[in-house]
Amino acid sequence: MPLPQLTIGDLKPRHPIIQGGMGIGVSLARLAGAVAKAGGIGIISCAQIGYQHPRFQRAPLKANLEAIATEYQKAKEIAGPEGIVGFNIMCAMNKYEKYVQRCVEVGADVIISGAGLPIHLPELVGAAKTKIAPIVSSAKAAKILLRTWAKRYQRTADFVVVEGPQAGGHLGFKYEDTAMKPEQMDEEFQHILKEVAVYEEQFQRKIPVIFAGGVFDRKDIDHYFQLGASGVQMASRFVVTEECDAPESYKKMYLNAQATDVEVIKSPVGMPGRALKNRFTERTKVEAHIPIAKCRSCLSYDHCDRKTIPYCITEMLLNAVTDQPEDGLVFAGGQVHRIKKMTTVPELMAELTEDN
């Protein structure tokens, strides 16, 4: 059977698949544009998006805000007139509000926001056409956020992304809960759907719920639809495509990964993160504080104390996408070891959406 239609207000992608935002420099214009052109929703990561800009080192914020416009324009040109392109913005980012406002200014179709609860996102977006979605990992977080938005702003989410513990990158779980069994997350997902349903009733509108985290193939997609999802978000499988913006050295880390290479580490953001084992992750096990070469003001002050953070997340993510993946932070999902070959976005989308 064909996959159901995903409808987010006036947005109707051909396929109910969102490509997850991956930073630094993994999901930029080429990948997001290609996914949107293939019928999914392409997502550009705002995390140090301007790292290739000539003035990034001396003025990172200005470089990033300029890059938001250039990357979005490039992605939309690739995607074509019907393509849907948006941004992922971490709540922990320094000057979070400026990033949101800039994405709205350039005309972003959607903004997905996590790594914390985006309490003020509706206020920052205002009456713009940009659709907004929080990332949550529990019914408690969904309840707090949706209740706050309803009470404070008289609005609700356009869609909700539920991220399970098998996701790559930052995880909305305690360290000990990152090994949660799939059936436990399935049960929590049902609780989240019930919380969302309260606000569907209140606002008399459908709020699509998207599942993310460890979604690998069509079998997984069908499973989450059976549980009540309206779509899925996938990230790791899009890394090993020709269109992905990451360098070949980064993609090879994925292709060579074994199940034992995937581990959960502590992030300076204050959350656990799933990444590939390499020289950098081994250093974190013996060095409590890796010296910071240069601060680029990537995290808000309440998330970053240079004297106590274990390492600079920007430095390590930059290492990963500048041909030093062994000495950088390579985020990856829990199913990365199942990826065995390079592909293209159209081929992957065809595999995932073929009628069965």
CATH number, domain 17-246+339-353: 3.20.20.70
Residue 207: half-sphere exposure toward Cβ, Cα within 13 Å:
26
164: amino acid identity, one letter: G
Q: How sure is the predictor about 298, in pLDDT bands with cuts at 50, 70 and 90? A: low
How high is the pLDDT of residue 307? Answer: 67
- Per-residue pLDDT band for 304 (boundaries 50, 70, 90) equals low
Question: Mean pLDDT across the stretch 63-75?
Answer: 97
What's the pLDDT at 90? 92
Distance CA 291, CA 289 (A): 6
Query: Which pLDDT value is given to residue 288?
Result: 81
- For residue 18, which of 174, 138, 167, 196 has the smallest C-alpha distance? 167
Which pLDDT score, from 0 to 100, does residue 300 have?
62
Residue 150 has pLDDT above 90, yes or no: yes
Q: Between the CA of residue 216 and those of 5, 85, 96, 250, what are the distances in Å? A: 20, 22, 31, 19
What percent of the chain is predicted at pLDDT more than 90?
A: 80
Mean pLDDT value of segment 325-341: 95
Residue 303 has pLDDT above 70, yes or no: no
Mind listing the pLDDT tens digit for each residue in 204-220?
Answer: 999 999 999 999 999 99
Whether pTM exceeds 0.75: yes
**H/E stretch holding 298:** none
Q: Please enumerate in sequence order all residues whose Cβ is within 8 A of that of 337, keeping only pairs 6 or more positions apart, or say none.
A: 257, 258, 259, 261, 262
44-65 per-position pLDDT tens digit? 999 999 999 999 988 999 999 9
Q: Quick: pLDDT tens for 225-255.
A: 999 999 999 999 999 999 999 999 999 999 9
Whether residue 356 has pLDDT greater than 70: no
* Residue 144 backbone dihedrals phi, psi, to 5 degrees: -60, -50
pLDDT value of residue 263: 94
pLDDT confidence tier of residue 293, bands split at 50, 70 and 90: confident
Q: Which residue has the higher pLDDT, 313 or 48?
A: 48
Domain boundaries, the chain: 17-246+339-353, 248-327
Whether the pLDDT of residue 301 is over 70: the answer is no
With beta carbons less than 8 A apart as the criterion, state whether 97 and 124 touch.
Answer: yes
Q: Beta-carbon neighbour count of residue 125 at 10 Å?
A: 22
Q: What is the rounded CA–CA span in Å between residue 355 and residue 264?
A: 35
- The percentage of the chain sitting over the pLDDT mark of 70, rounded to a whole number, equals 96
Is residue 22 within 8 Å of residue 46, measured between CB atoms?
Answer: no
Rounded distance between C-alpha atoms, residue 72 and residue 114, angstroms: 20
Contact indicator for 233, 184 with CB cutoff of 8 Å: no
Buried b (16+ CB within 10 A) or exposed e, 254-277: beebeeebbebbebbbebbbbbbb
Give Dmax over CA atoms of the chain in angstroms.
55
In the numeric block, which tokens belong to residue 44? 């550009």
Alpha carbons within 13 angstroms on the beta-carbon side of residue 295 total 10
What residues contact 237, with CB distance under 8 A and at least 6 apart?
216, 339, 348
Is the confidence at residue 280, as pLDDT, over 90? yes
Q: Residue 40 above 90 pLDDT?
A: yes
Mean residue pLDDT across the chain? 93
* Higher pLDDT, residue 253 or 175: 253
- The pLDDT of residue 332 is 96
How far, in Å, CA of 237 to CA of 214, rounded? 10
